[in-house]
Amino acid sequence: MLLWKQVLVDRERSQLWLGGYCFNTDNRYPLWLGGYCFNTDNRYPLWLGGYCFNTDNRYPLGLGEYCFNTDNRYPLGLGGYCFNTDNRYPLGLGGYCFNTDNRYPLWLGGYCFNTDNRYPLWLGGYCFNTDNRYPLWLGGYCFNTDNRYPLGLGGYCFNTDNRYPLGLGGYCFNTDNRYPLGLGGYCFNTDNRYPLGLGGYCFNTDNRYPLGLGGYCFNTDNRYPLGLGGYCFNTDNRYPLGLGGYCFNTDNQA
């Protein structure tokens, strides 16, 4: 009886099907069809020759398997991978990737990346960094620690301080300057603002500069309006350029 109990214990510890193995004290590695693998914290069903792995990371290699780490859950399909302690890199259809702070859904062979930046290369994928969210379409990129450069249709890019939609009527900003590209967009640098669009506005550090019909434009020393009835000013004199304009010097008023 004692011997039979020992056989049952041994069988419970190491069950073998179709040449598969279920293994050590911490991890189990089934190599068969319909086998299951459990570690101390999570459960890992695996099919078609999949593997279930170490104490921190799980790497399923099969169809429709699931992978879990200590903090996040990573469903993966069609040969997907679920990865290291900081980053997750799914390679498959409908896979999801999560890091410690953000969630990264990826499609059609997309990648979800390093600790600071995420670079999706696919259709309809999303990329998030620790502070901002970057949805990108049609081969867009979401980028480095300071600036983001979307390359696609209707994509959005955000840096640490500003938000940057790019498209019709979109806005683009870097850490110091804002550069819109579209209809009705706005553009600003550290001293002056230069709008590029219909009905846009431009501002410098001291003055406000609308550009359009009847708009005003100023730089740090001189002001040059571009429109009907606009005004232009330099450091000493004022020179209006428009219909019914006036010109002033330091002593006299014209």
The pLDDT tens digits for 196-207 are 322 233 332 233
pLDDT tens column, 89-135: 433 222 334 332 233 333 223 334 332 333 333 222 334 332 333 33
| Sequence spans of domains, the chain | 183-254
Closest CA to 56 of 86, 77, 36, 32: 86
Residue 101 confidence (pLDDT): 29
Q: Which residue has the tokens 């068969």?
A: 32
Phi, psi (rounded to 5 degrees) for 155: -75, 165
Closest CA to 112 of 142, 144, 146: 142
pLDDT tens column, 211-220: 322 333 433 2
Between CA 114 and CA 3 the distance in angstroms is 53
List Cβ<8 Å contacts ≥24 apart for 135-143. 142/117, 142/118, 143/117, 143/119
Q: Which residue has the tokens 């994509």?
A: 155
pLDDT tens column, 236-251: 333 433 222 333 332 3
Side chain identity at residue 21, one-letter code: Y
Residue 217 confidence (pLDDT): 42
- Convert 211-247 to b/e letters by CB count within 10 Å (16 or more is b): bbeebbbbbeeebbbbbeebbbbeeeebbbebeeeee
DSSP per position, 25-47: SS-----SSS-EEE-SS-EEE--
Between CA 148 and CA 143 the distance in angstroms is 5
**Residue 194, CB half-sphere, CA atoms under 13 Å: how many?**
10
- In Å, how far from its chain's centre is CA 120? 8
pTM value? Answer: 0.12
Contact assessment for residue 228 and residue 242, using Cβ atoms and an 8 Å cutoff: yes
